[in-house]
Amino acid sequence: MIKRREFFVGSALTAVSAKRVWGANDRIGLGLIGCGNRGIHAHMKETLKFREETNIEYRAVCDIWRQHREEAAAYAQKEQGSAPKGMAAYRELLAMKEIDAVLIATPDHQHATMLADAMRAGKDAYCEKPLAMDMKDLLMAVDAVKKTDRVVQMGTQIRSLPSSMGAKAFVMSGGLGKVFKIEQERNGLKPYWHGYGERKIAEADTDWKAFVFNRKMRNWDPDQHAAWYGYRDFSRGPHANLMVHFIDLVHHITGNNTPKRCVTLGGTYRFKDARNAPDSVETILEYDDFLVRYSTAFGTGHGNYLKFFGTKGTLDASGWSGKPFPVLPQGAEDPLPAGTTPPEVQSDNHFLNWLKCLRTRQQPNAPIEAGYSHSVAVILSDEALIRGRRMVHDPARRIVKEG
């Protein structure tokens, strides 16, 4: 028996799947799912910068929060000269024949299901990180993508910076010697969800049930809706959110895919309130021949850095300005000459890379495999935190387990 949702989304797939490649004069219709700060000021703003170059147009915007979708529609009309259709139900957007590709910028707990539904609807997709919060959702989303020929870009945009591309070329060529440890300390004066919690939302302006989505239903709570980053039902915490950019950069620069083992400690030490995401966390991940350490402590803005330690020197990737990362030549073996820098590598903006791939049908910089890898790392980290055990990834069985 075909479920109503499968029929609804599947019917859209039949309608659009025949169109695989666009000519230069064919306009690509985009749909934005999730019109909050990230959706409008990153996804929409960045893609519309390349509107004429890539011949795109936003034809629909979707958000359960009325004011957000109205703001997105107004922004699109101002920038492209035409108003997209606004709606609250994302499956309604996926069913539109005039939508060729979607950008998903919704809360973390919705990413995997929405991406899988986009695949069933025959849409290319750009999906925010983390791809998934548990292995069940991760495998569901990855397998849905693998069954199609759709172009999917994960929203880990740091890997597309010229500095990241140069660092990758430098490290992969042996420039640092053997990399044996990579660390990031990413602190802040207060948790990032505090700012989101300052937003005022009325129950009449949103769809609470649609927000809760696949989580256990609960009574209306405006703080959970507005400050969802601070609630573990909707986002696990900094080790599963902020760490994604770092761990994806580790995978990108070193060529490694997934960690083998992980241990994590953390909790709420400074900001004790109803929000239950940890405000401090320390996680260590083991790869085949190096260790990775990630740490966040909210309550201080000091101590931030990101470094790759090699036998010839240290790559300081703390600044994501796009300029080449500096190299510190204090190596134990055959130290690098002073002034060594990674090569200059040209690279398209992450959104532009995806838009170009919609036409060429090539794989973008952060394909679904990157989403699988970063998700395994953050799921390992979170499982180690909540279980108080060392967690292991079994790549053959695609599971995480104690070990």
Tell me the average pLDDT of the chain: 93
For residue 355, being part of any structural domain is answered with no
Out of 2-6, 186-190, 310-314, 365-369, least confident range: 2-6
For residue 243, being part of any structural domain is answered with yes
Q: What is the mean pLDDT of residues 200-225?
A: 98
Regarding whether 384 and 259 lie in a shared domain, the answer is yes
Regarding whether 121 and 180 lie in a shared domain, the answer is no
Helices (H) and strands (E) in the chain, counts: 15, 15
For residue 214, being part of any structural domain is answered with no
pLDDT at 17 over 70: no
The predicted structure's pLDDT at residue 332: 66
How many C-beta neighbours within 10 Å does residue 383 have? 21
- 333-364 pLDDT per residue, tens: 778 888 889 998 999 999 999 999 999 999 99
The predicted structure's pLDDT at residue 5: 41
- The model's confidence at residue 18, banded by pLDDT at 50, 70 and 90, is very low
CATH of the domain at 335: 3.30.360.10
The predicted structure's pLDDT at residue 14: 41
The predicted structure's pLDDT at residue 329: 81
For residue 212, being part of any structural domain is answered with no
| Residue range(s) defining the domain that contains residue 123 | 4-150
What is the total count of domains within the chain?
Answer: 2
Regarding whether 286 and 333 lie in a shared domain, the answer is yes
**Angle at the Cα of 373 from the Cα atoms of 371 and 379, rounded to 5 degrees:** 95
pLDDT at 8 over 90: no
pLDDT at 214 over 80: yes
Domain boundary, last residue among 132, 150, 168: 150
Q: What is the mean pLDDT of residues 227-235?
A: 98
For every residue of 25-64, DSSP letters joined together read TSPEEEEEE--SHHIIIIIIHHHHTTHHHHTEEEEEEE-S
For residue 245, being part of any structural domain is answered with yes
Regarding whether 251 and 189 lie in a shared domain, the answer is yes
CATH of the domain at 62: 3.40.50.720
- 148-168 pLDDT per residue, tens: 999 999 999 999 999 999 999
Structure tokens at 174: 């042996």
Rounded Cα distance, 184 and 296, in Å: 9
In the chain, the amino acid numbered 289 is D
For residue 356, being part of any structural domain is answered with no
- 112-135 pLDDT per residue, tens: 999 999 999 999 999 999 999 999
Regarding whether 173 and 121 lie in a shared domain, the answer is no
For residue 146, being part of any structural domain is answered with yes
Regarding whether 166 and 236 lie in a shared domain, the answer is yes
